[in-house]
Amino acid sequence: MCKQGTSHPGSKPAHKTCASGEQRAEIANRIDDSDTRFYGRFIEPERLTDDYVDCAEFVYEVLSEQGFSGFPSGDCIYQSNWYKNREKNELCVTSSNINEIVVGDVILWTGTWKDAKEYAHTGIVVQRSENLIQIVNAGQQGCDCDIKWKSYKVKNDEGVEVQLYDTMEDCYKTSCEKPAIWKSISYFNATTLNSANHVFKYWARPKINK
């Protein structure tokens, strides 16, 4: 059964939340409160053992701790396929109806940039009111060292072009100050869930197979 959730101060009464969703949100909040990793995208198996994290890996860690087995860590497309396959066996619910989102739901977006994947970003809802939704996710927060460190170059005193950063870690230490996992800076408007970089696709509510 679902029960009434916690409202953001000054907001209308919260939507209902489900026990498994509440647990998912608690895990997401706990990781957010303590995690200091920077953002980075890597392939398996290094992505699970390095000191970096991206959005898909963060959701993987939350669902794995909650007890889901076989959940992919690779990227949002693999995870979307996992939700859809479980839905066929009534082990997951998905929908694009924003009004039905509750605490603990996993959100998937596409990107607004050129050549963006169908599913390019993901995060977990940790607070829901009538008009506002707060999501914990892992993102660059204005830092894209995983992309730029190899290509960023400057001219030295002799006018010779040299690489600005020797390693990606050097780039992070020099130009990034914020960890990757964070709550959305502002609450999403609960009528669109879109941002400058992302367009809402659907939410997923996986169920534990008991």
- Max Cα–Cα distance, the chain, nearest Å: 70
Domain boundaries, the chain: 2-141+178-206
Task: Indicate the fold that domain 2-141+178-206 takes in CATH.
Answer: endopeptidase fold (from Nostoc punctiforme) (3.90.1720)
Query: What gap in Å lies between CA 96 and CA 108, rounded to an integer?
Result: 10
Indicate the pLDDT class of residue 209, thresholds 50, 70 and 90.
Answer: confident
pTM of the model: 0.74
Torsion of CA 180, 150, 46, 38, to 10 degrees: -10
Asked if residue 7 lies in contact with residue 129, where contact means CB atoms within 8 angstroms, the answer is yes
Query: What gap in Å lies between CA 186 and CA 190, rounded to an integer?
Result: 12
Indicate the pLDDT class of residue 16, thresholds 50, 70 and 90.
Answer: very low
